[in-house]
Amino acid sequence: MPNSKNHSFIEPQQERSRKRFEEVLKTAEFIYKNQDDYDLTVQDIAKLSGMKRPSIYKFFPSNESILEALSYKYSSSLFSLVKKNLNNLNYSDEKEIIKAVVDVYAIYVNNNYCISDLVFNVFSKNFLIEEILKLIEAKSTGETKKIKFSLSILMACLGDSLSQEKVITPSCVAETKKACLLYLAS
């Protein structure tokens, strides 16, 4: 995971602790993906993983911090794909950046539907907007304020489509691009 100091979980430094940290996330992910409307608890993770609760609390002070760590994991993965797809673009062309981000976001979410709400929560939205803007600012001399709001529009449109239709449809992708591009043109 990329380094970020703005989260509520504690990323371990030692190899043995990293393995336990990853085991907790792996178990939490299993529970999350396989249980409908399930409240993820440290007690259930401890039972399923065979770890003691104090060992889990060492890294994750709350149930919410486990969900945040899962969100961070998937958001980081999504950001890596966005970054890879933006590498070949002209960073001064805001329209092409937004179109590429919409496409990558839609494909990623459709391919990972069972965890889709983890990349549409407030933490993930803020993380992704911040990281995409850092990337663009590092490679562009243009104004990024409009891109920031376009990214917010993008996430709202795609998230709304997903909640209504359980998939991000090609028509939603087209309408999202249109909304973002209209905003950029204003």
Same domain, 121 and 156: yes
Residues 24 and 106 in one domain: no
Helix, strand, coil in percent for the chain, rounding step 5:
75, 0, 25
Q: What is the pLDDT of residue 2?
A: 41
Q: Which domain holds residue 56?
A: 15-61
73-132 pLDDT, tens digit each: 999 999 999 999 998 888 778 899 999 999 999 999 999 988 888 899 888 999 999 999
Q: How far apart are CA 100 and CA 98, in angstroms?
A: 5
Which pLDDT value is given to residue 178?
A: 97
What are the two backbone dihedrals, phi and then psi, of residue 90, each rounded to the nearest 5 degrees?
-80, 115
Q: In this structure, are 167 and 115 located in the same domain?
A: yes
DSSP tag of 87: T
CB-based contact 170:106 (threshold 8 Å)? no
> Would you say residue 5 lies in a domain?
no
pLDDT tier, 1 (very low <50, low <70, confident <90, very high otherwise): very low
pLDDT at 186: 87
